[in-house]
Structure formats: structure tokens, C-alpha cells
Amino acid sequence: MTKPLDGVRIIDFTHVQAGPACTQLLGFYGADVIKVERPGSGDVTRSQLRDLPGADALYFTMLNGNKRSLTLDTKTPEGKEVLEAMIKTSDVLVENFGPGALDRMGFSWERIQELNPKLIMASVKGFSEGHSYEDLKVYENVAQCAGGAASTTGFWDGPPTVSAAALGDSNTGMHLAIGILTALMQRQKTGKGQKVSCSMQDAVLNLCRVKLRDQQRLDKIGYLEEYPQYPHGSFTDVVPRGGNAGGGGQPGWVLKCKGWETDPNAYIYFTIQGHAWEPITRAIGKPEWAKDPAYMTPEARQDKIFDIFKTIEEVDHKVRGKYLTIGSPIKFSDLEIEVKPSPVLGEHTDEVLRDLGYGKEDIARLHAAKAV
Ligand SMILES: CC(C)(COP(=O)(O)OP(=O)(O)OC[C@H]1O[C@@H](n2cnc3c(N)ncnc32)[C@H](O)[C@@H]1OP(=O)(O)O)[C@@H](O)C(=O)NCCC(=O)NCCS
């Protein structure tokens, strides 16, 4: 079966999570993703949080499926020569090194354009170009704080809390994947490649769009009616942390289910949408609340919202082998996605070199120089 990205060759110069999440997604859709790693060590996640001695860690395998692995020391003259050959024959180079690493390696954007003007170069950095922090290296939680997400999670009387969901890492990779696909579409029209970049701060901020909405409303009217502080509590001049509030206009909260005393996940998220109020009153044994002016409308209910939630909680509710991973989060009607295992370090080194036109002797020379 042909796949949408068949024929698209990607130099995957990524590591840890933000970059690998992006290139794995493109691999799911058929791109030939060649992961370039330092000989001997490779991506640091191969050995991070190992659960099986000697096997690549799940951290690596779950972010690097559907790729080939080439070991290459791009700081040696021979390694640079191979990377140049790859740039000349590829469509996209994706990287998430610390700021300036590619330039120091001798592969500035200007140099890449000289080698292949059709190449799309895609980068993840912590902060965008021109930002006063553009030179900083950044990991997940810094991005969650700098992009505003941490200020929205946790409870209003506690400190900002980071989320375990990779809002800075994988989320930025997903944004970058959209950028790469857009640049590929544009290349079809212009014949030219371009530089695409997404900063982790911006990708997090993009997810906090509705909180910026709330800040502007708060600035204007001084309160936010969908937050539990309304109408009795007080607001400061910044949007309060949401706790488990709905935030989308309907009140909601996390409620206990049967077994919550021993099962840490025996909870349900419960939202009271306007039109669902009447059936909810029946389900919780309070049918009289359906017509009671003190409960009938969302505005009337707001100051009793925690009593209502309390009533609902009282209701009685009913060399690794196989590993679990997560496939494409996006589904297609005409594309079956095959999820393949991640490669061991350097598994495809000779194969990729042969693809680039290197003969037996040349390959032996590169091995002898420890460039691959
Ligand atoms: C993630 C991050 C903090 C890790 O930092 P780090 O471990 O110090 O690694 P760097 O990316 O800075 O790379 C270190 C060096 O390895 C070199 N290197 C990497 N692969 C190489 C290879 N195959 N051959 C030779 N050198 C290589 C780089 O060129 C760099 O060299 P230099 O800085 O001495 O010039 C940093 O890469 C970063 O900020 N990336 C951008 C933001 C990002 O993606 N963060 C989220 C990661 S999930």
C-alpha cells in the first residue's frame, strides 16, 4: 500500500523527546526517517530509565519506531562528508540540538541551502529566534512554565504545577510536524525549501490560548463566572489556577467513584451542561431541582456548585520482546498505519551508506575512521 509520505526522505537529527516525537509521526505516515546518532552512545534516551538490562529503554523505543538508525560522528571530516551527501539527497532535516550546535558543526542554514536549496530544515528550540532567551537549552518543565501552562494547573491556594503530559516536548514536535508538512506543500508550488522552527514556549502558549482569553475578560470585568471563586470568592488581577474547574463555560469537577479509597484512578470528570441539568437531577435523586428557580439556571446554580457535586459523589457508581507503545493519534479513512519497532543503534548504518552510493571499501574506510 502506498503511503502519503512515501518517497520523502528525512534526516532525523533529533534526540530526547520533542524532535523524535515529530519524526516518528512522519515515519508512521510513510517517510523514510533516518535517525543520525553519535557512534557508541546514540540518543541519551536509549539508556535512560532502563527496565531491561542491555535493551533500549522504553523512553527510546516509544519515540523512535518506524525509523532507520545510522551512526555518524558529524564532527569528523568523514562524518561531515556523509552528512553532506545525505543533505543533497534528502527532503527534510529535523533537529532539536541546543542553540547554535548545527552552526558549530559547520551546517548553518546558509551552508545547507548551498548544498540543497530544496531541503526543508525544521528545528525545535526552547525559545524562538530573537527572544532574549534564544541561547538557552530547554527541557519540558521550563517550557511549561515559560509558556504559561504551569500557572493554570494546580489549586488556587497552591503553587503552579507542571503537567505530566508532554506539553513542551511532544506537543512541540506535533506543531513542528504541521510546519514540515506545510513547507512540503509550499515546496510543490515554489520548488524551494525553507527553514521551519517551533519554540517550545510558543507551542505551550498556543495551548493556553483560552487562558489568555480569560485574562483579558478578567482585566475588563474583574471576575470569571465559570471559576469556583465566583460569586463568593475573590479574584486577584491574574487568572486563578483552575483546580479541576471546567474552564470552557460549563461547570465541571473531578468526582469520586466507587473504590476511590484504594484505586487512585477511581474518579470521573463530571460536567453539567445546561441542557443536561434535568436528567442529572433525576439521576441524582433530586428531581425537584429541575424546576427550582434556585437551581434551574447555570447562574443560579453557580454558588451551590460544590454542594451539587457532593450530592453526585454520594451516588454509587460502578532484547525487549513485545512492548506497549502509542501509534498515530491521527486516524485516516484511507491509510492503515503500521507501527514498526525502533531500530537498535546503527542497525542501518551500512544500508544507508550503500543508499548514498558508498561502496564496500568506502564503508570500511568510514568504519576505520570511527566516523560511523
Ligand atoms: C535537549 C537539550 C537541552 C540537550 O542538551 P545537550 O544534552 O547539552 O545536547 P546538545 O543538543 O546541546 O548537543 C550537545 C553536542 O552534541 C553534538 N552532537 C550531537 N550529535 C552528534 C553527532 N552525531 N556527532 C557529533 N556531535 C554530535 C552537538 O553538535 C553538540 O555539540 P556542541 O554543543 O559541543 O557544539 C538541548 O539539545 C536543547 O535545548 N534542545 C532544544 C530544545 C529541545 O528540544 N528540548 C527538549 C528536548 S525533549
Q: Which of these, 191, 199, 190, lies nearest to 133 by C-alpha position?
A: 199
The residues assigned a catalytic role are 169
Looking at residue 338, its pLDDT comes to 86
Q: Residue 299 is which amino acid? A: E
257 compared with 190, residue with greater pLDDT: 190
Looking at residue 133, its pLDDT comes to 97
Q: Which of these, 172, 228, 219, 215, lies nearest to 197 by C-alpha position?
A: 172
pLDDT tens, residue by residue, 214-266: 999 999 999 988 887 877 778 999 999 988 887 666 778 888 888 888 999 99
Averaged confidence pLDDT in the chain: 91
Asked whether 271 and 234 are in contact (CB, 8 A), the reply is no
Pocket, ligand 1, Cβ cutoff 6 A = 16-19, 36-38, 72-75, 96-98, 101, 104-105, 124-126, 137-139, 169
| Farthest-apart Cα atoms in the chain, separation | 87
Q: Which atom of ligand 1 is nearest to the CA of 97?
A: 11
Q: Which residue has the cell 447562574?
A: 299
Q: What does pTM read for this prediction?
A: 0.91
C-alpha cell at 311: 450530592
Pocket test for ligand 1, best of 37, 137, 141 (most atoms within 8 A of CB): 137
